[in-house]
Chains A and B, each alone.
Chain A
């Protein structure tokens, strides 16, 4: 009790004496914790919605689409491991018109009494009712993308071109497909009689069936049985894994990035903390000895230091938790933060913080209780570097500074290293930024040569082509069709994109192998190669609508869509029945043309008959990453600053005695200042240079690795430009010197007594 009171006095006084440094410590830890929490939330959140939705809706593990509703569909319920069957439900493709935009949707017929398995869960409004046949229930992500509210009109255009006006009766969650717009078309449910009215033609619709299994792991086996059983009937099949993957697509990338930054940042922060605490303890040895002579025990001193420095860390953790939590909810709009991983992060960070300050605290506790005369720095002889400085006849201040830089070797190393780590991370952050810039600036390098996708809509292919050809900003256009193909043995569908002709191929960014040049050749995304376990040069056999498609993969293209699980071929590789008329035209525009303008013009020219979509650049979807990078750079800068302050505080302490002597020797205040700044500046330059070099050497590798694992494929990474790096280095060094200058100036101006005190 008595020790507590005395200890608190001391801690309070000490903190008051170094407010700036203490605040910085808190901010650093807070920043790191916030980043980690945001990371884990994103990573967790990526998997959580599927898990939650699947449980809520008692979802089906396997979904497949067929042309007709046959007796065989019911028979799939007899497959081993299948507990129940959802559907078959009739589903028709429509286009939803909302605020002048047209968005694709699948209209699905469900009964007024929700089914037991895979039933959508209404979050707003009500479920379908036979008394209200005009009502429609919209899947939530689709409703959000279209800004639909309860009671809003829901205007759809059927394949026939006929318009129907329904209204939004409810909004519901479902686990049967991914979120819009990552997963298209969007999903909306109507009563069977409503669907009959909208799309009377059975031939223009499909049947969707879901299977709920006893064991999620058997999805693969069951899907293969379904493929065998339905054979030609089967049009498309996917399992819960694809749905889950689709739901976590973007967040996973962001989460990985944040986690990487967070973990490395944590190490850097731990280093900064240990450095700061260690430096402070070194500066306080006399005070600590005095406390001991007063009757503080070894353990109490260690505890005192641990509490003081640890408390700053813990305060940082608390602030970081609030910020991370609040920030994640505010910026990313997620509602739930998983408690377990967050607790794990908090506990982990707290441990790291305590471990980081534990060593200096322990060492402080072992201070001998005899307060010696003021501690003097080890008098190093001129370091090799300083001798070099002398040799090339640098001014005396620089030589002295160079000598000082390495007087204490371990702190010198820690300072340089402590600056190198944040600088490395900043370089990596700049690399990610440059990569995003490249996405946005050169969409053709990430497989988005075309800025617009135009569907013929109500027009014939010839009419559509005429409109496209007439537009002055269209440089080239490529007819294309997306089909679903079943991969043998995989038990799931992959996307086959037929676009352009073998003679006039769509300019995919092929990073390995070559472009397809004749029918029967294809390029694939990394995701597809991984999925099928094939490599360039291999032949793959797929089934498209019952007919076999055998192609040889001749190259790998950057593929930002569908996790890279896309096979791209020329239109002439597919059977004519699948490609005529083409489903869409991919339009490459002339340089400088505004896609939105061209889209508007095409719509007007065609009298709203064409179906025009602007391609979404992945950089736009990943825009939030830029915010994150800026925030991280800020945190990393704080870490660097914390290290720097420690270094210059230690340097000043070492020089308190020297300064008077230097002045007596005839150094002007300016030279004294230059000496001090050189001492820290040299370490800064070393650290920053090493960090930048390290960052630049790993950045492309890291981003490509991320690209590879996410299916997009290696080859997207762009290192930050030399200009950016040079500016970053200059800014870092400049800031560091400016920061080092303030205490140096004060010290140089101050009247320093010659006697030791």
Chain B
């Protein structure tokens, strides 16, 4: 059996900055298989974002282990984490975080270049992604001129530019209206069908509904972890019950 795409063993995070240490994550075990789409849910303050940040090396863990594609990552230095992220991890954030001074095209090409692609490869990959996301005509625009949904689609393209083995997303639709959410949702569903492993923090049930598996966090601990079954009846009547 192949290695899990992502694995956390007894992961703990304590913020000791303030007067009282805050236990944000208390011993989370999590294993994500390649191709899986995991939704991480829970009330605010339950440690969802901290967990995903730690899984991507954006935040340091207090104790526990993190394995990315079979290599142990929690012991890595900040710089080594950065190198790992380049190749294996794509991030999507709530506030899109496109580099404001760069065009849409440059934003998408940047991680590909960073990952070691030649300028030509990066351009081809960018053209492909923007085409798939229906953003080809926006390639030369500045991110500030795009709507929120468009920006998040660009951010998604950027996260996918490197064909990461894991896509980590932190409330990707938290800042979008329902129409834009639908666009992003469709995209996430598509990339997942193409075999992309996704771990996503979300509050949005519609987004979570796309996932194969839901992990519910409460007060820094996993309170539920299970597959979401689909009836896949195919008829509308089975889904919408007219009373």
A residues apposed to B, CB below 8 Å: 1-3, 5-6, 9-10, 13-14, 16-18, 286-287, 289-300, 368-371, 373-374, 756-757
A754 smallest CB distance to B (angstroms): 13
A10-B110, A287-B100, A371-B95 known; A298 and B85 CB under 8 Å? no
Query: For the complex, what is the distance from the CA of A708 to the CA of B86, rounded to whole Å?
Result: 66
B residues 57-72 touching A (CB-CB < 8 Å) = 57-59
B residues apposed to A, CB below 8 Å: 53, 56-59, 78-79, 82-87, 89, 91, 93, 95, 97-103, 106, 109-111, 113-117, 119, 158
Are A290 and B82 in contact, CB atoms less than 8 angstroms apart?
Answer: no
Are B58 and A297 in contact, CB atoms less than 8 angstroms apart?
Answer: no
A-B contacts, 21 listed (Cβ < 8 Å): A2-B116, A2-B117, A6-B114, A9-B109, A9-B110, A286-B95, A287-B100, A290-B98, A293-B93, A294-B91, A294-B110, A294-B114, A294-B158, A296-B114, A297-B78, A368-B59, A369-B58, A371-B93, A371-B95, A373-B95, A757-B95
Are A17 and B114 in contact, CB atoms less than 8 angstroms apart?
Answer: no
A2-B117, A296-B114 known; A374 and B99 CB under 8 Å? no
Are A297 and B83 in contact, CB atoms less than 8 angstroms apart?
Answer: yes
A5-B113, A10-B110, A757-B95 known; A294 and B85 CB under 8 Å? yes
Query: For the complex, what is the distance from the CA of A6 to the CA of B84, rounded to whole Å?
Result: 16
Are A2 and B113 in contact, CB atoms less than 8 angstroms apart?
Answer: yes
A297 CB contact (under 8 Å) in B59, B79, B98, B115:
B79
Known pairs A289-B97, A297-B79. 5 more at Cβ < 8 A?
A3-B114, A9-B110, A13-B106, A297-B82, A370-B58
A48 smallest CB distance to B (angstroms): 48
Are B113 and A295 in contact, CB atoms less than 8 angstroms apart?
Answer: no
Query: For the complex, what is the distance from the CA of A368 to the CA of B82, rounded to whole Å?
Result: 12
Are A374 and B101 in contact, CB atoms less than 8 angstroms apart?
Answer: no
Chain A binding site: helix, strand, loop or mixed by DSSP?
Answer: helix
Q: Which residues of A contact B110 (CB under 8 A)?
A: 6, 9-10, 291, 294
Are A10 and B99 in contact, CB atoms less than 8 angstroms apart?
Answer: yes
A5-B119, A371-B93 known; A294 and B111 CB under 8 Å? yes
B82 CB contact (under 8 Å) in A17, A287, A296, A373:
A296
Are A2 and B101 in contact, CB atoms less than 8 angstroms apart?
Answer: no
Q: Which residues of A contact B117 (CB under 8 A)?
A: 2
A369-B58, A370-B58, A370-B59 known; A295 and B97 CB under 8 Å? no
A294-B91, A294-B114, A297-B78 known; A370 and B53 CB under 8 Å? yes
A302 smallest CB distance to B (angstroms): 11
B102 CB contact (under 8 Å) in A10, A296, A297, A374:
A10
Q: Which residues of A contact B91 (CB under 8 A)?
A: 293-294
Query: For the complex, what is the distance from the CA of A13 to the CA of B143, rounded to whole Å?
Result: 12
Are B86 and A295 in contact, CB atoms less than 8 angstroms apart?
Answer: yes
Query: For the complex, what is the distance from the CA of A295 to the CA of B86, rounded to whole Å?
Result: 5
B139 smallest CB distance to A (angstroms): 14
B44 smallest CB distance to A (angstroms): 14
Q: Which residues of B contact A368 (CB under 8 A)?
A: 58-59
A2-B117, A9-B106, A370-B58 known; A298 and B99 CB under 8 Å? no
Are A374 and B95 in contact, CB atoms less than 8 angstroms apart?
Answer: yes
Q: Nearest CB to that of B148 among chain A residues?
A: A757
Query: For the complex, what is the distance from the CA of A292 to the CA of B85, rounded to whole Å?
Result: 9
